[in-house]
Structure 1
Amino acid sequence: MRMIYVTPDGGHHWVDSEWRDTKTLRAAIEGSQPGDLIRLLPGNYFLPEAIDMPRDGTAAEPIIIRGEHGAIIDGRRPPDPEVSATSPGAARYAAFRMVNRCHIRLDNIRIERCWPSAVYMENSHHLTFKDMQIVGGTYAFYADGPACRHLTIVRCDWVQDDSLWRYINWAMVHDGELVPGEKAPYRYLNGAFFGSNNIAGDVVIRGNDIRHCYNAIRLDLSDENQDAPLGQFNCNVVISNNRFSFVRDNPVEPETVAVNWWVTYNQLYNCHKWFSQDGAQGGFWYYFGNRGWFDSRPGPEGDDNNGGAVFKFGKDPDALPTLPFECFHNSFYLRQQYVKKGTTRNWRHRRNAIGYADSSQLPPGLMTPDQPFLGEDLVLSAADNVSFDGDICNHPTFPEIFDNYPGVYLGGTPVSGEVFRAGICGDLALVPGKAEPFAQPLAVGMPDGTVWHSANGLMPGAIDGNGLFDGPKYRPIDREYLRQCLENDDCDD
């Protein structure tokens, strides 16, 4: 491994107990070779133009760019109002641009004021980002193109705009909401920690701290790829052990298609609509071990988009999951409706713990009193393989609300009073005596055709004793099994 030292001025500096020649960041990148470790020494690196990675690393010798504490890349860029909920494209600014690149890793780098993106990737693969701290940007990371795959983002930190949760009206970010056809004044915030368009998949987003943003994770698909076979795009996505806080719209939002998504062991604190599946086809979706709670409601006075929901479904019957959608052993402390409207298919909702706050015990306006568990415009059908089984819930309309959906409710534990030990504090351990352990293990079909079984004697929810529920381990989609499922239209058992 060749060690390359980088300082803002590229001069002669005392480093690692001796005087050494250093390079500027741009010179170090331009001369980089596979196996290089490029060390950014403390200092402020002003970056008026993007850094384009000129060459690849290899699987055995990646190119590693690692920042030391106090190394800050500052783009000094204002927001770009032309980028909103779309691909920034390779022509726009990013601190690091990787086009047709592979085997590159960025570690422990702080990036500030880089709009629209801190990192832009196009048709690139085997890229890793660890322990990065990013402030600002429409996107922290953006990936574009069908050759994008094997992207890993671990233990990174992103704050987009800390005024967004409380002081900016939701409609001022989303185009067409204030005036039909008109652009919103804060449209440049309609991005995400990780955004993408037309990527193959194989994405791991794990252990990140994502807060004060409009969206967290959003994978999209262009119109020309709408009819592509399921599994070609947005396939094999792991979203695990992240903390989402003060997310004004959606923490997790697949657009158009998603196949084999594992949304597991995440913490969701003060988020609006947690899991959006509006217009998403596909399936083999696994939501388990997640914990969510609140102590705040979004928006300034007069903002009507502050109700929220746990799941957001669409209404298009041609844009629904055709493969399994599993939701089990999650714990949610709520002020909002569980689902407001729309419909879904193949949804097995099992052994979750859902606790509602008592609005009379909260500050005025924090929770809408007397709202139903499920919205009036929601359509659920047992004929579409939708079922609720084994959940514990204290909502006063649970389970009577399921009289509107014959055959969907298969059993559960309706309770009164608190479900969790201290829900508003994020302590989602069950109150003792509220539920009994399950006598039989849970069986869940996997994306490779096998069946996973839980341990015996588990309680509902994400907390098992003093630890987290031990769910199935991630496995990639089995392409032959996927083909069989699509041909038979039956992978539910």
Structure 2
Amino acid sequence: MEVVYVSDDGKDHWIDSKMRPTTTLEMAIVNSKPGQLIRLIDGTYRVKRPMPFPHSGEQGNPIVVRGETGVVLDAAQKPDPSVSASNPGQARFAVFQLIDVEHIRIENLNITRGWPSAVYIENSRNLSFRGLDISDGTYAFYASGERCHGIKITECRWVQDSSIWRAIRWDEIHDGKDDEGNVIKVPFRYLNGAFFGADDIAGDVEISRNDIRDCYNGIRMDVSSFNVGAPIGTFNRDIRIMDNRFSYIRDNPIEPEFVALGWWIGRNRFYNCHKLFSQDGVRGGFWYYFANICWFDSRPGPEGDEYNGGAVFKLGKGGNVPQPDYVSVCFHNSFYLRQKYIKKGTTRGLVNARNAIEHADPVTLPDEMMPLDQSFFGEYADLYLSAMPPLPVVFSGDLANHPAYPDIFDPYDGVLSCPRPATGPLFENSLAGQFELRESHQIPYVNPLEVPLPDGSVWCSNPEHWPGAITDGCLIQGPDYVPVDLDYVRSLPVPEVQATSS
């Protein structure tokens, strides 16, 4: 590749045992072309305006922007309160803007104070981001447009605001409404964003081996009201969220909006997160949650913040709201909880199998870390789970130590099978992050778990695996990723939404 050297002043510098001419980063991007490596030498770069890429790379000849160790891009922007859980658009600031381009890679940079976005993507394809250390911003990455696909984000880190978990109230970030339905804009609304946000993108997104912490949301992918009625699979398809670490997430680590098809959420670690998996009013399906580990040692919010309960699943609100159209499977995960497993709501097609679910003993924890009488589920009147076909809800083979388990399933006829109730701790030392099952629970299954995949095939688990994410010291790998076969999925019958009482 042709190497273009970049410095903060654009002058000659001693690089690799030789004085070499350099250019500024802005000029390097303006003049970029396929097959170039734009290499930034150590230094702090002041970013005064967005940097759009005017040209694309080519397959096999991408444009690569790569920083040496110690490169910092400081945008010196202030928070933008006009962006809150919304598409920032190309008119607002972003350090890098990738609009109608393809085959571009950005690697090994520190980016700070890039409000509202460090990276803004629109209708672009085949993009790769690796080793970016991003702080501040409503979004680290935001993607928009139905021609967006082929986005890969790996080994990046984002810290949005280190005070968000403990010092800021949830309802000071999330807008409210008055009695007349008018929006009440709250003071920290500019934090209502995500590590990766999206609006109306096709999909094919891989987010893996990232460290996502001290933020409001992890991954939140939306569909605009204009496109809500599009055929399932048009948007938010083939998303892989694998091997990441989510820490101190004030709202949801994983939150699709309206529709999601073929989401793979595997081998992640969730540490001090509020509500893990949101399926609230989301159509689609073939969602796979496997080999994830979740634990806590802290409760969110300052004194008086009532939004600190949390749950593993955030389900739909019932009534005639959208519901999943296809199956989803949550299997072989390890949960150490202070919160409910499901607080309220309704769903269908959820198979919850072979998880290890340990509720902490509140007596052994600091005061007010969790309720002394924390329930497994929310109130029966607020939760609707049905074993009725064609998309029954199934809980099978889970190991759980909650005192109400398995009796809590009595009102849900036919939902529960093969429960493994337990007393006392399930894991070696949950607070220390040691999630090997205690010896008395190291019991394999007789038959494999059959998991339907979005191409019509079936993956079978190893029946020798124990409950939870770890067997014999090894993290369960789960199934290999299989992209959605749209012809197959769209040939499946889609049940009507049924009104519920929840």
TM-score (norm 1): 0.98
Partner AA of 1:202 in structure 2: D
Give 1:455 shift: 1.7
1:325–1:348: 8 Å Cα contact kept in structure 2? yes
Q: Distance in 2 between matches of 1:430 and 1:412?
A: 17
For residues 457 and 52 of structure 1, what CA distance do their matches in structure 2 show? Answer: 52
Q: 1:110 to 1:178 in 2, by over 3 A?
A: farther
* Counterpart position of 1:345: 348
Partner of 2:133: 133
Alignment of 1:264-275 (within 5 A): 264-275=266-277
CA contact (8 A) 1:57 1:63 kept: yes
Note the C-alpha offset of 1:456: 2.9
Cα distance between partner residues in 1 of 2:474 and 2:464: 14
Shift in alpha-carbon separation, 1:178–1:296, aligned structure 2, 3 A: farther
SS of alignment partner, residue 410 of structure 2: helix
Give the equivalent residue in structure 2 for 1:247.
Answer: 249
Match of 1:191 among 184, 193, 213: 193
1:431-459, Cα deviation, whole Å (9 max, x unpaired): 11125210111111111111111123111
Which amino acid is 2:269 matched to?
A: Q
Q: Please give the alpha-carbon distance, in whole angstroms, between the structure 2 residues aligned to 1:75 and 1:459.
A: 49
Residue in structure 2 matched with residue 380 of structure 1 by the alignment: 385
Q: Which residue in 2 is equivalent to 1:173?
A: 173
Contact 1:73 1:111 in 2 (8 A): yes
Separation in 2, partners of 1:425, 1:264: 21
Distance in 2 (alpha carbons) for counterparts of 1:7 and 1:23: 6
> Deviation digits for residues 21-43 of structure 1, max 9, x if unmatched?
00000111111110000001011
> Distance in 2 between the 1:109 and 1:90 partners?
22
What amino acid does structure 1 have at the position aligned with 2:151? L
Equivalence map 1:353-368=2 (5 Å)? 353-368=356-371
1:105-130, Cα deviation, whole Å (9 max, x unpaired): 00001100010000000001100000
Deviation at 1:486, TM superposition (A): 4.1
The aligned counterpart of 1:84 is 84
CA distance in 2: counterparts of 1:171 and 1:182, whole angstroms: 10
Contact 1:50 1:93 in 2 (8 A): yes
Q: Is 1:394–1:416's contact at 8 Å kept on the other side of the alignment?
A: yes
Q: For 1:382-421, what aligned pairs fall within 5 Å after superposition?
A: 382-383=387-388, 384-421=391-428
Q: Distance in 2 between matches of 1:457 and 1:144?
A: 44
| SS, match of residue 418 in structure 2 | strand
CA contact (8 A) 1:178 1:184 kept: no
Unaligned 5+ runs, structure 1: none
Q: Give 1:453's aligned residue.
A: 460
Q: Deviations over 1:43-65 (max 9, x none)?
A: 11101100010100011100000
Secondary structure at the counterpart of residue 168 of structure 1: coil
1:331 aligns with 2:334: yes
Q: Name the stretch that deviates more: 309-318 or 384-393.
A: 309-318
Residues 148 and 200 in structure 1, CA contact (< 8 A), matched pair in contact too: yes
Deviations 1:320-342 (A, max 9, x none): 11101101000000000011111
Amino acid at match of 2:38: I
Offset from partner CA, 1:338-366 (integer Å, 9 cap, x none) = 11111000010000000011000100010
Q: Are 2:481 and 1:474 aligned?
A: yes
Q: 2:99 — aligned with what?
A: 99
Q: Counterpart in 2 of 1:305?
A: 307
Gaps (5+ residues) in structure 2? 497-502
Distance 1:431-1:177 versus aligned 2 partners, 3 A rule:
farther
Conserved 8 A contact 2:338-2:374: no
Task: Give the 5 Å matches for 1:111-130.
Answer: 111-130=111-130
Q: Indicate the SS of the match to 1:286.
A: strand
Q: CA deviation at 1:70?
A: 1.0
SS in 2 for 1:166: coil
Tell me, in whole angstroms, the C-alpha distance in 1 between the residues paired with 2:443 and 2:91: 58
| Structure 1 CA distance for aligned equivalents of residues 199 and 278 of structure 2 | 17
After superposing the two structures, state which structure 1 stretch, 450-459 or 36-45, moved more. Answer: 450-459
2:489 counterpart SS class: helix
Q: Percent identical across equivalent pairs?
A: 52
- One-letter amino acid of the counterpart of residue 233, structure 1: F
Q: Give the alignment partner of residue 374 of structure 2, picking from 353, 371, 375.
A: 371
SS in 2 for 1:480: helix
Deviations 1:64-120 (A, max 9, x none): 000111111000001001000000000000000011010000000110001000000
Distance (whole Å) between structure 1 residues aligned to residue 204 and residue 471 of structure 2: 30
The residue that corresponds to 2:469 in the other structure is 462
- The DSSP-based 3-state class of the residue aligned with 1:404 is coil
SS of residue in 1 equivalent to 2:251: strand
Q: How far 1:464 moved relative to its partner?
A: 1.4
CA deviations on 1:244-266 (whole Å, 9 max, x unpaired) are: 00000000000000000000000
CA contact (8 A) 2:267 2:477 kept: no
Check conservation: 1:392, 1:435, Cα contact below 8 A. no
